[in-house]
Amino acid sequence: MDIIKGIRGVKDILPEETSRWRFIEETARRWATLYGFHEIRVPIFEVTTLFARSIGASTDIVEKEMYTFQDRDGTSLTLRPEGTAGTVRAYIEHNRAADPVPQKYFYSGPMFRHERPQAGRLRQFNQFGVEFFGTADPRADVEVMALLWRMLSDLKLPALTLEVNNLGSGPDREIYRPLLVTYLRQIHEELCGNCRRRLETNPLRVLDCKVATCRSATEAAPRLADSLSEDARSYFTAVLTGLDAIGIPYHVNHRLVRGLDYYCLTTFEVTSTHLGAQNAVGAGGRYDGLVHMLGGPSTPAVGFAVGLERMALMLDQQAMTSTIQSLTVYVAGFGPCGSTSGFSVLDQLRVAGISAASDYRSSSLKSHLRQADRLKARFTLILGDDEVEKGIGLLRDMNTKDQHDIDLTHLIPRISSLLQAS
């Protein structure tokens, strides 16, 4: 029979790798909590219009990357390609704007995009993200960028750069758009096929194209920065001053236009030269119009999302403090009485909070000890028929190979005190 395989671009995370993942997730959660964000869990699928309306019809995601399907009643549903749309929907639906304290959420979980799979680019991938609602102060932008920067720095991810730009307000971009389009029409010949299309649908995205010829052709393009209103400029100055004040290093990148329509004012991205072609680790920005656009009260907001796969690719094993729960006791029960007693001792240990394992396939002491070694057990409790008859077991310290009798009625306190002593 044919073996059924996983889907292309959809990966298993095997037990050897999950400690690395937990380490990343726990670090992210810890930092987000330090900055006053609380976890929100929103659904993995939503009605398609939510994403189409928020992310924007002429973006890569909505044009070609969404996993969309029909529900039985014909409703169009989509597996979430990102976390902001669902979080905003929940914010509106549960009337969170009525809460007098700023709403600060974080989320972590799988996202789905139909892309060409390669290193650091998958069809199911995981993002950690934060959304800060209700504050139009540039310090909120700084706080969100600081959180991202400190979290990634704490993970000791190499060669990071925080790139920042200012997209101005909607009207600012309306002034800029025709200037850019005029310029792009002149260099039309030099643009890639994708950008020729973007020129008509979403011209700002041309500036973000990764193709080298597009980049050089747009080098001399008019700058959005020159079309910005006084308000947008002073907002940006306040953001940069805030970053300086708390010592977050950044690089102003005038070409940084994010691929989602909902951003305004501040946009940012953290990149690393260690990631090859997929050099972005995380990105975000301000999206003051989105809550209102989705039918909620006018609410300023700012947030980011980071890709956990890309973080995992960069994480040096050395940087990980051990989160691996090692095995404390391997129970080696053999012979009719030893096996029976071993089975209940296993359970007693676990109930007492001591990790314990056995291999039911092993029937001799020798094979048990081999498995205890492989499982890197701290102790092995040897229970043969003779021991069990005397109400004892033999406790073997797997590091020193010392072995001594242990009264089974005092097993738990004895092991606990040995663990405390070591």
In angstroms, give the least distance from the CB of 82 to ligand ATP: 5
Give the phi and the psi of residue 137 in degrees, each rounded to 5: -80, 135
Radius of gyration of the chain (CA): 28
Q: Which tokens in the block code for residue 141? A: 């932008």
What does the binding site for ligand ATP look like in residue numbers (CB under 6 A)? 82, 113, 115, 120-122, 125, 127, 259, 278, 280-283, 305-307, 309-310
Which residue, 106 or 125, is less far from ligand ATP as judged by CB? 125
Which residue, 112 or 236, is less far from ligand ATP as judged by CB? 112
Beta-sheet pairing, 103-112 with 124-133? antiparallel
Which residue, 140 or 281, is less far from ligand ATP as judged by CB? 281
In angstroms, give the least distance from the CB of 257 to ligand ATP: 10
CB within 8 Å of 252: residues ≥ 6 apart:
163, 164, 165, 240
Which residue, 125 or 330, is less far from ligand ATP as judged by CB? 125
Which residue, 83 or 134, is less far from ligand ATP as judged by CB? 83
Which residue, 127 or 362, is less far from ligand ATP as judged by CB? 127
Spell out the long-range contacts of 313-319 with Cβ–Cβ below 8 A and sequence spacing 24 or more.
313/119, 313/120, 313/275, 314/157, 314/158, 314/272, 314/274, 314/275, 314/281, 315/20, 315/23, 315/24, 315/155, 315/156, 315/157, 316/156, 316/158, 317/20, 319/155, 319/156
Which residue, 269 or 387, is less far from ligand ATP as judged by CB? 269
The continuous run of DSSP H or E covering 56 comes out as none
Residue nearest to ligand ATP (CB): 307
In angstroms, give the least distance from the CB of 312 to ligand ATP: 10
Residue ranges of the alpha helices (H) in 360-410? 365-374, 385-389
Three-state DSSP class for 83? coil
Helix, strand, coil share of the chain (percent; to 5): 45, 20, 35
In angstroms, give the least distance from the CB of 207 to ligand ATP: 13
In 3D, which of 406, 344, 392, 323 has the Cα closest to residue 416?
Answer: 406
Which residue, 203 or 285, is less far from ligand ATP as judged by CB? 285
In angstroms, give the least distance from the CB of 11 to ligand ATP: 10
In 3D, which of 317, 275, 242, 241 has the Cα closest to residue 161?
Answer: 275
In angstroms, give the least distance from the CB of 263 to ligand ATP: 10
In angstroms, give the least distance from the CB of 388 to ligand ATP: 54
In angstroms, give the least distance from the CB of 276 to ligand ATP: 11
| 182 C-beta neighbours (distance < 10 Å), count | 10
Rounded to 10 deg, the angle between the 193-201 and 170-186 helix axes is 140
In angstroms, give the least distance from the CB of 66 to ligand ATP: 12
55 contacts 62 by C-beta, under 8 angstroms: yes
Three-state DSSP class for 362? coil
Which residue, 253 or 278, is less far from ligand ATP as judged by CB? 278
